[in-house]
Amino acid sequence: MKQDMIVILDLGSSENTRLAREIRALGVYSEIYPHDITKAELAALPNVKGVILCGGEHRVVDGVEIDVLPEIYDTGLPFMAIDHTKAKCDLQLEAWPDETQLKAFVFDTCKAQANWNMENFIADQVELLRRQIGDRKVLLALSGGVDSSVVAALLIKAIGKQLTCVHVNHGLMRKGESESVIEVFKNQMDANLIYVDASERFLDKLSGVADPEQKRKIIGAEFIRVFEEEARKLEGIDFLAQGTIYPDIVESGTKTAKVVKSHHNVGGLPDDLQFELVEPLKQLFKDEVRACGAALGLPHGMVYRQPFPGPGLGVRCLGAITRERLEAVRESDAILREEFANAGLDKTVWQYFTIVPDFKSVGVKDNARCFEYPVILRAVNTIDAMTATIEDIPWPVLHKITDRILKEVKNVNRVCYDLTPKPCGTIEWE
């Protein structure tokens, strides 16, 4: 392994990930472990140069104050503690460390090297993946999202054709997206890629279904069914690769924090399809995943792709999905994306898309009355998607988008801009 590591022990602080990020920002790798790690477990971790006890508001769990095991102080490693008065540490801090204090501990006390970078990460992962997988075979559900795309690129580098990617087009993808998955992975990277066009099958299942949660359930269940069918056709697969990233692991619950959410990227696969998991991004934050993808040569548009919900355009074609409205969502979304890119807004706006509701309004086209659908534009900024603000889009850009949608998209005679922040509107309409 090429990189030195600072271990953070979770003593109930909600700021553990912030600390890990601050240390990684210094160019030193850092990981968070439970407070009750044993001396043997700590000693078995590669290249540990120092330990930070990060105490906080959740130090009392079920009425008992948690602490580290005293034996870990015998490892001989340098220790630092934040807000933890009983610790036997080289350095005790009452308040959050500033950059100078953190640097002094990491570089002067621990003598860590600033050798955490993407080239070293990729080289380490390639070696680890080859060691874990040997000459066996791996399966990956490649959605075209950032995480699964980066996993695919990393595995292609490590094991080439021992990886089989399955891309399921559920018919609810954005314009050109499945095509770009095929272009990048099959044509450019020469991956083993199975492309399944399941559009008709999904649309059949969704026919007449108007309830958003029901739509989500059908899309999720059908996705697993299609993927499972493909997996059963393949022989000799031992591993399933997943795009799990570090926040998924941290948020799935440490010993002190309550479970925020549990993550199953390809959840619900039947028990008789048993795979060992390969999760090469599980130590990375989202921006590091993007940097990794860029270092592996994935196109900018794929690496910096805006968030896109699993159920895809299915939750933006409101109510019961019809082909004509789905087409209107897809075409208007493509225009919005193109014009945002032309105006440079794709670099500043977190998420932007269009919605087509299931009602019509009266309009006039070519001197005749028409009765057609509206398109709603949405553009939001957010840090964590829990709350969101509305982006100020310059009027000329809105006019241009409106003109193009009215001219180029069939069955549409009106364009609206949604000004609702979250709360009280959610980001998606369904």
Taking CB under 6 A as the criterion, the residue among 46, 270, 301, 307 binding ligand XMP is 307
* Residues 310-349 close enough to bind ligand XMP by CB under 6 A: 310-311
**Tokens 């990020």 correspond to what residue?**
21
Using omega within 30 degrees of 0 as the cis cutoff, is the peptide bond preceding 424 cis? yes
Taking CB under 6 A as the criterion, the residue among 102, 122, 153, 427 binding ligand XMP is 427
Query: Is 210 a binder of ligand XMP (CB under 6 A)?
Result: no
Residue number with CB closer to ligand XMP (89 or 209) = 209
Question: Would you say 429 and 376 are in contact if contact means Cβ atoms under 8 Å apart?
Answer: yes
Taking CB under 6 A as the criterion, the residue among 201, 216, 263, 360 binding ligand XMP is 216
* Residues in a beta bridge with 7: 31, 51
Selected range binding ligand XMP among 3-11, 160-168, 172-180, 304-312, rule: CB under 6 A: 304-312
Count of chain residues binding ligand XMP (CB under 6 A): 11
Which is nearest to 3 in space by CA: 105, 114, 106, 107? 114
Residue number with CB closer to ligand XMP (48 or 219) = 219
Taking CB under 6 A as the criterion, the residue among 44, 45, 60, 385 binding ligand XMP is 385
Distance of CA 298 to the CA centre of its chain: 16
Question: Would you say 390 and 374 are in contact if contact means Cβ atoms under 8 Å apart?
Answer: no
First to last CA, the chain: 46
Q: Which letter does DSSP use for residue 306 in this model?
A: P
Query: Is 309 a binder of ligand XMP (CB under 6 A)?
Result: yes
The minimum distance between CB 125 and ligand XMP, in angstroms, equals 25
Residue number with CB closer to ligand XMP (82 or 355) = 355
SS3 percent helix, strand, coil of the chain, rounded to 5, is 40, 20, 40
Which is nearest to 241 in space by CA: 276, 278, 212? 278
Query: Is 351 a binder of ligand XMP (CB under 6 A)?
Result: yes
Q: Which DSSP string corresponds to 317-356?
A: B-SS--HHHHHHHHHHHHHHHHHHHHTTGGGT-SEEEEEB
Selected range binding ligand XMP among 37-45, 88-96, 104-112, 422-430, rule: CB under 6 A: 422-430
The minimum distance between CB 139 and ligand XMP, in angstroms, equals 21
User: In this structure, how many other beta carbons lie within 10 angstroms of the beta carbon of residue 302?
Assistant: 21
Selected range binding ligand XMP among 51-59, 177-185, 307-315, 319-327, rule: CB under 6 A: 307-315
Kindly list the residues in this chain that would bind ligand XMP in the complex (CB under 6 A).
216, 307, 309-311, 351, 385, 422, 426-428
